[in-house]
Amino acid sequence: MAPSYDVIVVGLGGMGSAAAYHLAARGQRVLGLERFGPAHNLGSSHGGSRIYRQAYFEDPAYVPLLLRAHELWEKLAMDSGHEVFTQTGGLVIGREDSQAFAGTLRSAQQWGLDHEVLTAADIRSRFPTFKPGADDLAFYERKAGVARPEATVTAHLDLARVHGADLHFVETVFGWQADGPGGKAWVVTDRGIYTADRLVIAPGAWASNLLSDLGVTVTVERQVMYWFQPHGGTGPFTADRHPVYIWEDPDGTQICGFPALDGPDGGAKVAFFHKGLPSNPETVDRRVRSEEIGAMAEYLRLRVPTLPTRFLKATACMYANTPDEHFVLAQHPEHPRVTVAYGFSGHGFKFVPVVGEILADLATEGTTDHPIALFDPRRVRPDI
Ligand X SMILES: Cc1cc2nc3c(=O)[nH]c(=O)nc-3n(C[C@H](O)[C@H](O)[C@H](O)COP(=O)(O)OP(=O)(O)OC[C@H]3O[C@@H](n4cnc5c(N)ncnc54)[C@H](O)[C@@H]3O)c2cc1C
Q: Which residues bind ligand X (CB under 6 A)?
A: 10-16, 33-36, 43-45, 47, 50-51, 172-173, 202-206, 209-210, 223, 225, 256, 271, 317-319, 342, 344, 346-350
Q: How far is the CB of 353 from ligand X (least distance, A)?
A: 12
Q: Closest distance between ligand X and the C-beta of residue 170, in Å?
A: 9
Provide CB contacts within 8 A for 49, sequence distance 6+.
146, 147, 148, 149, 258, 261, 269
Rounded to a whole number of angstroms, the minimum distance from the CB of residue 371 to ligand X is 18
Q: Which of 326, 314, 319 is nearest to 278 (CA)?
A: 319
Q: What is the CA radius of gyration of the chain?
A: 21
C-alpha distances (whole Å) from 40 to each of 150, 151, 198, 356 are 8, 11, 26, 19
Nearer to ligand X by C-beta: 82 or 347? 347
Residue with nearest beta carbon to ligand X: 13
Q: Give whichever of 236 and 348 is closer to ligand X, judged by the CB atom.
A: 348
Question: In angstroms, what is the minimal distance from the CB of 154 to ligand X?
Answer: 12
CB of 234 to ligand X, least distance (A): 20
Q: Which is nearer to ligand X, 37 or 252 (CB)?
A: 37
Number of H helices, E strands in the chain: 8, 20
CB 12 within 8 A of CB 33: yes
Provide, rounded to whole angstroms, the least separation between the CB of residue 3 and ligand X: 19
Residue number, 235 or 252, with CB nearest to ligand X: 252
Residue closer to ligand X by CB (options 202, 232) is: 202
Helices marked H in the chain: 14-25, 63-80, 99-111, 120-126, 149-162, 207-210, 290-301, 352-365
CA distance 33 to 44: 17
| Residue 353, C-beta contacts closer than 8 angstroms, at least 6 positions apart | 18, 69, 72, 73, 75, 76, 152
Cα angle 201-218-149, degrees, rounded to a multiple of 5: 60
Smaller CB separation from ligand X, 77 or 383: 77
Please provide the DSSP assignment of 164-232 as one string. T-EEE-S--EEEEESS-GGG-EEEEESS-EEEEEEEEE--GGGHHHH-GGGS---EEEEEEEEEEEPTT
The least CB distance from residue 48 to ligand X, in Å, is 10
CA proximity to 18, closest of 365, 329, 334, 332: 329
**Closest CB to ligand X among 232 and 297?**
297
User: Minimal distance in Å, beta carbon 121 to ligand X?
Assistant: 28
For ligand X, the closer CB: 25 or 318: 318
